[in-house]
Structure 1
Amino acid sequence: MEIRELEYFLACCETGSFTAAARKVHLVQSAMSSAIARLERDLGVELFDRTVTPVAVTEHGEALRTAAQRVLDAVRSARDEVHAVGGRVRGTVVLGSTFSTGPLDLATVLTGLRTRHPEVVVQLRQSSAGSTGNLLAVLDGSLDIALTASNERPPDGIVLRPLIEEPLVFACRADHPLAARAAVTPSDLSAESVLRFPPGWGMRHTVDRVLGPARAATEVADYGLMARLVGAGFGTTLMPASAAGTGDGLCVVPLEAPDLTWRLSAAVSTRRRPAAATVALLDALGEAADRAAGARD
């Protein structure tokens, strides 16, 4: 079994076609088919079901897929570490992010990282699965770093590096009865029609904890749309202060509950040694968080 064959195998898994996989890795289709057949002979199992289109990965293939990805990740990491000894940081970092990073300017972070380390490639992933989905992706290795807003204890194998913390606010329409208040308490919101973020989001967990779970709440997976709906009088909500903005008709009222905050952290695995490129991005995120905290002070 050769590393090159594992790369070809994963390309077939990704594309569902030997022809498309061959095109992806710049190989002729016959050579791709021969490589996969050779790998199957070596393992003594069928890795793909060729009777369907697109080709389907078999149970044995799924087992190899996970192991093959680990092997290739280790090979890339080894190459990157060798280059890092000479001060040359290179490699790919897969970063999962929440839809909002609050006061942390992610665009500036990524631009600065590219200037400092031009051979580092960051692949940014954003998912409506929220913080829970991002944490699971760090565990299974599909993300190197996840920016998460979860206030829950992370699963085993994950460590959170705190970056940003800011208060939650009550967002309502400007003519709402609570809009003129200097501050509101959670008990003031018991009768409110509160819009909620989807399950798995850190904000959803926080709002459910404060106001109790809602069986039929309107769920919105976008901070901007949430703010516009509130401004239009569709409902009210709780959100981080920086995400509320100042849209038309929107009023933001401080929440009198110091323990209710929005926290952004960088989640990394404790089971894998981070590559030099991952460390460089973590350092850049930490520096940006320090600057954001200093600006607020």
Structure 2
Amino acid sequence: MNRLVALALPLVSAVLISLVPGGTAHAADPDTAPVIQTAGLSTETGGLSGYLPISCVVRVEFTDQTPSDAEDYAISVEGRDGAGASHQYDGLGQPVPDAFTIGLPCGDLADGQHTVTVREHPGEAQATESEPAAFSYRVIDHPSRLDVAVPKVRGTYSVYAGRRYRLRPQGTWEARADISTRMWTSKRRSVFTSDDWTANTSGKAAVVSVDSADAMVATFRVPRRLAGRWLWISVLGRTGAWGADGVADYRYTFIPLKVLPPKR
């Protein structure tokens, strides 16, 4: 029997910042540099996957009395830069000409205090920069690893339908963590399709779907009807603490496991 060790995927996924045309381009003016209103961590998730989604973004909201086009702004977090802002919207869903949002993936930020600035650089004009804003960052306390003992059958890690298995953590989650456990199945190993999504969200193909619980679902058994499919296992811990005192989520995933018919 081979032991399969779950490896945590990179914490941050790609983030798409939508650009909304707005404002009239102005020359950068030192007297009307961008002014940061809020700075801290946020989460933007999405995409079609059998795993629980995860992302971490340094998100800044700022204003500018003489706004440039949204794409003329950039964010800087201690030497790491990201370009392109989007307008904030009012209660009627209309873009606010002088209010913007911009984000940068957390990447490999170290735990602790950080500073962020917003830079305005319209065309060939001399750039102006906001005053820095501070925020804190750390990753939620989590187990050092998460294992499950499964057999390797004909070169493929697998589980037998109808047999009980257990996830075994080494260490604990932080006390206030909300733990989500997802064990979804797909028809194919490398692709999770919209049909798979529908089958799992309807309950027909899901093994476990538990969100924001006090503890993860440690034991599982794949129903016999799902033999022949592939099992995607993920466990996500979060505190829900974002903003200036943000705590980043942490996720474990396993490679997709082949679901075999019951072993006789």
TM-score by length of 1: 0.24
Give 1 or 2: higher helix fraction. Answer: 1
Give 1 or 2: higher strand fraction. Answer: 2
Higher relative contact order (CA 8 A, sep 6+): 2
